[in-house]
Structure 1
């Protein structure tokens, strides 16, 4: 049965290595409410693929059907005489093993679909790209958007710490904290040199930064300005923050520039409970006991590794 989609539907594919799997899956659950090992997912949630360091591409579904022939029969209404187009078959799909669709068949399907559409087929520089993909026993056709690695442009900063989060991890943490930015106010009360702030601000997240160390506040402001972003960063201890926020992102201080003792870490978490409804905590050691003592409930978590160095990311409400 063929269906011209009326309810919003999107298909996303993912790319990540074994060390990133746990973090990517936590981000998936934050965006879509579920995760998958097959690196492809269908959802009603609309997320721009460039937001995530792990999303590779997105298809905005226009038509779905039981067979590829049903898709081909419907695509003549798509395209335009005023623009060129190309059709791509998603290489990442859930047809594996004996059901895997080989390259020659993928190319044949692309050409067959393309011949039925309006406008001129252009492989090299099309005005618009469409995609076709099998998933969950059905076929889907729609508008194609490829992810751009915006986070990669933020790797080189004027101010850097060797122990700061990587830009990929920082971007994913910001997404985990604020998967849907509209109407959400966020704070990074231990912002350091602003790695999380840069990623969050570049995605349009309403976030402010605070830190007790004036030198790292200067570095954070310099990094934000370097990427032509506008951010609010002030020197402040977390106990002096009086405003409340929907979410706080806390990378607990542990390096030689801004080190916090266990007692000071407990104070940070205690005040995070006061100023935010939800926190996303980044820590190098388990803080479960302290979080429970303060009154937080852990709702999700993951481990991210960098060489031999591991961090735990914990989502609490």
Structure 2
């Protein structure tokens, strides 16, 4: 067997994803990656998978490396790099990443880039190359492939015309949508065709992220001010404001594939247990799967409302801790 392998049509394509998160969102990050890829990451900064996702799917993923060369040593990687065929006229550059198991310092990584770049047949271009090739060490293997960087345009949506100080951050909202639909992604279903519901939508943070990801979603809120604010935000980002309606979720009709429920009432006052249970029962009637967010423990009420807990994690934000439950 050769000591290095170059991907061909006969070999299974593999991918490396680099990811990062703040410690307050680490549980959510790991849970989202587990749901999206069907496996938890085995490393603090990279995830190896045969599943191909756009790197912008998760707000925690920074890039995807489409592995072309898998070698046992750096010398073998350099040798294999000389056999890579770039498209005619395409310029390139090589980046050696500190993520993974590469303990090289900055100067050593630049040296690795020069060594590999010198072996590749093509024109190097450091400022604006047509192709960026990445080098990562994973365990005892050296991996080389084309880099596909994440679309980070969601960062622009952190600023909205209307917002709550306790509203879900954009990053969290985006991850919650993935938790709601990732079962369809993992099982090769058409996740974009799912009908989603945000029954307590507030200012529409979750809705806007779902819409930006190409998902179908409808929102309701019992508070007229929230509905008005959500419509302003939707219109600001180019979405139909009629997707949000004034209404009590206990009175909403219809069926949805999944729902994201951020129980907002208990942020300002204590919501009685019987009212919480009614909301959860209504949600059970409306959706087959739910991602539920609360500042209070809900395990007992979830069970009493007919939900089966699948996953759970916690996020923290400046003295405010939220529990997240994924239920079916």
With normalisation by structure 2, the TM-score equals 0.89
Tell me the SS of whatever aligns to 2:289: strand
Q: Deviations over 1:65-102 (max 9, x none)?
A: 2222333223333323312111111111124xxxx223
Q: Does 1:82 align with 2:84?
A: no
Are the equivalent residues in 2 in contact too, given 1:80–1:118 (CA < 8 A)? no
Are the equivalent residues in 2 in contact too, given 1:61–1:142 (CA < 8 A)? yes
- Residue 37 of structure 1 deviates from its aligned partner by 5.0
In structure 2, distance between residues paired with 1:70 and 1:184: 46
Q: How many residues align?
A: 313
Q: Does 1:16 align with 2:2?
A: no
In structure 1, distance between residues paired with 2:165 and 2:89: 51
Report the equivalent of 1:63.
69
Task: Name whichever of 134-143 and 172-181 sits farther off.
Answer: 172-181
Tell me the SS of whatever aligns to 2:16: strand
- Write the mapping of 1:87-98 to structure 2, written as runs, cut at 5 A: 87-95=94-102
Q: Structure 2 unaligned runs (5+)?
A: 186-190
Tell me the SS of whatever aligns to 1:171: helix
Report the equivalent of 2:52.
46
- Residue 255 of structure 1 deviates from its aligned partner by 6.0
CA gap of 1:226–1:259, structure 2 versus 1, over 3 A, is farther
Are the equivalent residues in 1 in contact too, given 2:13–2:67 (CA < 8 A)? yes
Report the equivalent of 1:30.
35
Q: Does 1:158 align with 2:168?
A: no
In structure 2, distance between residues paired with 1:191 and 1:284: 16
- Residue 258 of structure 1 deviates from its aligned partner by 9.7
Q: Does 1:313 align with 2:315?
A: no
Tell me the SS of whatever aligns to 2:52: coil
Which segments of structure 1 move beyond 4 Å, counting only runs of 4 or more?
255-260
Tell me the SS of whatever aligns to 1:57: strand
Are the equivalent residues in 2 in contact too, given 1:246–1:276 (CA < 8 A)? yes
Q: Deviations over 1:117-145 (max 9, x none)?
A: 23210111111211111113212111102
In structure 1, distance between residues paired with 2:210 and 2:89: 38
Tell me the SS of whatever aligns to 2:90: strand
Report the equivalent of 1:187.
197
- Residue 23 of structure 1 deviates from its aligned partner by 1.5
Report the equivalent of 2:106.
103
- Residue 38 of structure 1 deviates from its aligned partner by 1.7
Q: Deviations over 1:1-28 (max 9, x none)?
A: 2222332311111222221211211111
Q: CA RMSD in A?
A: 2.0
Task: Name whichever of 154-163 and 142-151 sits farther off.
Answer: 142-151
In structure 2, distance between residues paired with 1:189 and 1:13: 34
Q: Structure 1 unaligned runs (5+)?
A: none
With normalisation by structure 1, the TM-score equals 0.91
Tell me the SS of whatever aligns to 2:162: coil
Task: Name whichever of 302-311 and 118-127 sits farther off.
Answer: 118-127
- Residue 248 of structure 1 deviates from its aligned partner by 0.6
Report the equivalent of 1:140.
143
Report the equivalent of 2:206.
196
